[in-house]
Amino acid sequence: MYARRRRNYFLLMGGCVVLFVSAWAVVRLWSMPAAIAMCLVAMVIPPVAAMLANRRGPEDRWWDDPSGDPKSDEWWDELDGKKRY
């Protein structure tokens, strides 16, 4: 699950770098508005990449799920004030 997230994050960030570099190295020679538009698109990609990379998937363990270790779960339940029956 983490490898998939990491791969997607780096693909998006790589696309961001490619857009930014190509906008100012190549595209600006033919069209300044197109280069600015490419930079604006590149500006939106990092927050989207961060949100997608930190999104919890259906197979991910959530912070309050039981860990599977009975002693650890009992200890955390005691700290949280939960009673185990």
Q: What's the pLDDT tens digit per position in 14-27?
A: 999 999 999 999 99
What is the model's pLDDT at position 59?
A: 64
What is the model's pLDDT at position 62?
A: 65
- Per-residue tokens: 50: 């961060």
Give the list of residues 6+ apart from residue 62 with CB closer than 8 angstroms, or none. Answer: 56
Residue 21 domain boundaries: 2-60
Q: Is residue 72 part of a domain?
A: no
| SS3 at position 85 | coil
Residue 38's nearest CA partner among 25, 55, 23 is 23
Q: What percent of the chain has pLDDT over 70?
A: 85
The number of folded domains in the chain is 1
Q: Is residue 67 part of a domain?
A: no
Low-confidence ranges of the chain (pLDDT < 50): none
Q: Is residue 8 part of a domain?
A: yes
Give the list of residues 6+ apart from residue 75 with CB closer than 8 angstroms, or none. Answer: none
